[in-house]
Every structure is written in structure tokens, then in C-alpha cells.
Structure 1
Amino acid sequence: MIIAALLANIVNAGTDALVLAEDMDEATFRRSRLARAEMARLVGVMATNLADLPDAQRQQFAELDWNTWRALPEQLNADPATHDEALWFAIRALVPATLMWLRVYKEGAPGLFEFQQG
């Protein structure tokens, strides 16, 4: 059940971040302080929950960009230019790719994504 909760947090936070960024170009993104802050929070939730997944799931989800996810929290806590660049990359590339792969994994192993009563 813990894995299902982590995966649900990842999917929900990623989906919410993409909805916030849906119609933004990079200039709008950089001007939108409040939306940027919320996107950073949501991407941080994703990074934290991905880091909390057991090693077995990390190996099972081999196509996820684990190195970038591990490095992202430090980049989001760096100077504003590094933060914004890392967040823009996450919103435009890392988050969509991660959500796409999680949909693929869910088709192959739906039990991991389901909450089960114990």
C-alpha cells in the first residue's frame, strides 16, 4: 500500500504541475512568480516520493530518469537562475516523461498502483 500511495502522490503532483503550466511559454513561466512557486512545490513532491520508492521499484521502473530526479532538489534550492532552468526543464520534459512511463508501468503491473485493504 505504501508504494501505491507514493505512486499516487507522484502522479497527482505531476498532473497538477502540468495543468498549471499548460498554456505557459517560457517567458510567461518566468514572470509568474506564484505559479512557479507552486510548480516547484509539486515537482519537489514528485522528487521526494520518487526518492522514497524502494529499490525494487526503482529497478522495475528503469526507464525513469533517476539521475536527474536525484539531482533536481539541489538544483531547485540553488540560485534563482539555476532553479528556474531546472524547473522549466522538469515541467517541459522530466515530468511528462515520468508520467508517461508510469502509465506504461501501470498497464503492465496495475497491482502496484492499487490501494489494497490489509
Structure 2
Amino acid sequence: MLSRMQYDILQTSGQFVGALLAELQSEEELFASANTLRCVEAHLRVIAQTLVHLPEPLRQRLVQIDWHGWKCLQHLLEQNAQPRREEVWYGVRALVPATLALIAQLRRREPGWFEIGY
């Protein structure tokens, strides 16, 4: 299923965000590092774009995801809109962990959504 590939994309991007933030001590440190911020924002954009393309039946099983938050963040990142500091910080501290946790829970409950099908 396409959902397995999407799951892998979400997991990989989420892990990259976590790894990039692991060395940072504060919010200020993230926003002071242009290179790290650019990488984090790129992964947030990948996650947001991947979520938009999840099949509707799968999206309906993930009603607890902050779909509005992801949509707003995606718009800000794609339009390169400023300011977006609060939204990016919300993305890395709340959206990413919560979304990955909810998808992992669904994968445990309904593994069929995440099988590779041809």
C-alpha cells in the first residue's frame, strides 16, 4: 500500500527532526542556526506534504492529528511566509511527536494499513 511508503517518509523525516534538535539546548539556538533551521523546516514541509496525501480512510482514523496545524505550517513553509517562528517551534515540539505517536498507535492497532502491497 502507498500508506507504508508514506509511513516510512513520515518516520524518517521525524527522526531527522529529532536528531537535528537533539544537540540544541533551546528554542533560541534553533532559530540562531540558519542551516539547522533550514533543514528542520525542510523536514517539516516533507511531513506536512506527506500527510496531505494520506488516503482519506486513513486520515479518518487519525482524527486526533492536528490537521489544521499541519495545514497552516505547510502554507507558511511553502510560501516562505514570515514570521513563522512560533509555528515552526510548535511543529517540532508538538506536531511532529504527537503525529508520529498517533500513527504508531494506529499501526499497532491496524497493521494492514501499513503493509507493502503491489
TM-score under structure 2 length normalisation: 0.90
1:78 aligns with 2:81: yes
8 Å Cα contact 1:64-1:101 kept in structure 2 = yes
Instruction: State the partner residue of 2:38.
Output: 37
Is the 1:20–1:35 Cα contact (8 Å) retained in structure 2?
A: yes
User: 1:112 is aligned with what amino acid?
Assistant: W
Q: Does 1:66 align with 2:67?
A: yes
Corresponding residue of 2:48: 47
- 5+ residue gaps, structure 1, are none
1:20 match: secondary structure: helix
In structure 2, give the amino acid aligned to 1:106: R
1:114 corresponds to = 115
2:9 is aligned to 9
User: Does 107-116 or 89-98 show the bigger shift?
Assistant: 107-116
Identity in percent: 29
SS in 2 for 1:115: coil
Cα offset, 1:86, TM superposition: 1.4
Contact map agreement 1:8 1:113 (CA 8 A) in 2: no
Q: 4+ runs of 1 displaced by more than 6 Å?
A: none
Which amino acid is the alignment partner of residue 21 of structure 1?
A: L
1:18 maps to which residue? 18
Letter in 1 for 2:66: D
Cα distance in 2 for partners of 1:73, 1:61 equals: 18
Tell me by how many angstroms 1:14 deviates: 1.1
Structure 2: which 5+ runs fail to align?
A: none
Aligned counterparts of 1:92 and 1:99: Cα–Cα separation in 2: 12
* 2: CA distance, partners of 1:114 / 1:14: 20
Residues 75-118 of structure 1: CA distance to partner in whole angstroms, max 9, x if unpaired? Answer: 22211x32x221111001110111111111111011222223x3
Query: What SS is found at the alignment partner of 1:18?
Result: helix
